[in-house]
């Protein structure tokens, strides 16, 4: 049975927390920071409709309602910054020795393996954001993964500890609202700087598939709209949208 405590709706199984919360918001208003969490998602997805693997009740599968009317529609990437930083803060709060990194635009890696994925859905009206749904899947207590997720890792597999998911959800909201309210108060620069400090492969030369061409390049930062900036080893400058660059392991 569904249970709601402290603005967190806990569900046993639904297709998608993002879709469920989106349906709720279409019918009624909910306070900012309201969370829908599921023990299992039968149709959980990440970026580009990638499948998200999760054992029932082992991990965070959750979405949060936000109303970022202080951001223009062309600034929506800052929501990715805030949610990514909140995920990193949640991990380091669990164990301060850990060093999670943000793989552009919003996967969280730990020890070169994926621990978290983020999917944000924005409702846009003109140049304003009516509401946003910040979805996060984070591997917490799951210890084994199928061959479809060879790079997956969980918090428990690294620390050896077992975690209580409802407490982590409360902490996630705390961390997300910290970064979010900083932006609401007009400071976009500091969160962006902190985002870049945790940028996976920043200033390192690696191979990528850039606009269909296999190229060795170095990530140098982010540009307008959060697009990825790279410099090819041949001197070519690249500014890439989400579908224009593929990372190789």
pTM score of the predicted model:
0.94
Give the residue-averaged pLDDT of 193-216: 97
Q: Give the mean pLDDT of the chain.
A: 93
Q: Check the CA dihedral 82-83-86-87 and report its sign.
A: negative
Q: 173 falls in which pLDDT band (50, 70, 90)?
A: very high
- pLDDT per residue as tens digits for the range 4-16: 889 999 999 999 9
- What gap in Å lies between CA 108 and CA 115, rounded to an integer? 6
Return the pLDDT at 150: 65
Q: Check the CA dihedral 222-181-123-109 and report its sign.
A: positive
Sheet holding 228-232, edge to edge: 237-240, 228-232, 213-222, 205-210, 245-247
Q: 201 falls in which pLDDT band (50, 70, 90)?
A: very high
Return the pLDDT at 124: 95
CB-CB contact of 215 with 248 (8 Å): no
CA distances from 217 to 45, 151, 160, 211, 233 (A): 29, 22, 36, 13, 5
Give the residue-averaged pLDDT of 74-92: 97
> Which of 3.40.50.300, 3.40.1280.10, 3.30.930.10, 3.90.79.10 is the CATH number of 3-197?
3.30.930.10
In the chain, the percentage of residues whose pLDDT exceeds 90 is 87
- What gap in Å lies between CA 71 and CA 125, rounded to an integer? 12
Give the residue-averaged pLDDT of 40-51: 64
- What gap in Å lies between CA 192 and CA 163, rounded to an integer? 29
């Amino acid at each position: 049975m569904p249970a709601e405590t402290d603005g967190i709706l806990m569900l046993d199984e639904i297709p998608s927390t993002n879709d469920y919360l989106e349906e709720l918001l279409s019918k009624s208003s909910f306070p900012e920071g309201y969370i829908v969490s599921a023990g299992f998602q039968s149709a959980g997805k990440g970026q580009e409709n990638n499948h998200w693997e999760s054992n029932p009740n082992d991990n965070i599968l959750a979405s949060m309602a936000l109303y970022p009317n202080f951001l223009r529609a062309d600034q929506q990437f800052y929501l990715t910054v805030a949610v990514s930083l909140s995920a990193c803060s949640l991990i380091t709060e669990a164990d301060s020795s850990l060093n999670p990194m943000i793989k552009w635009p919003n996967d969280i890696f730990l020890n070169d393996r994926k621990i978290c994925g983020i999917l944000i859905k924005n409702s846009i009206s003109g140049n304003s954001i009516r509401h946003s749904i910040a979805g996060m899947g984070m591997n917490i207590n799951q210890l084994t993964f199928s061959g479809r997720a060879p790079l997956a890792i969980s918090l428990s597999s690294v620390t050896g500890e077992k975690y209580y998911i409802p407490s982590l959800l409360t902490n996630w909201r705390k961390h997300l609202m910290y970064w979010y309210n900083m932006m609401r108060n007009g400071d976009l620069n500091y969160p962006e700087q902190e985002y870049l400090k945790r940028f996976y492969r920043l200033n390192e030369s690696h191979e990528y598939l850039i606009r269909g061409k296999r190229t060795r390049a170095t990530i140098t930062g982010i540009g307008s709209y959060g697009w990825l900036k790279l410099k090819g080893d041949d001197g070519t400058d690249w500014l890439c949208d989400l579908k224009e660059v593929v990372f190789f392991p």
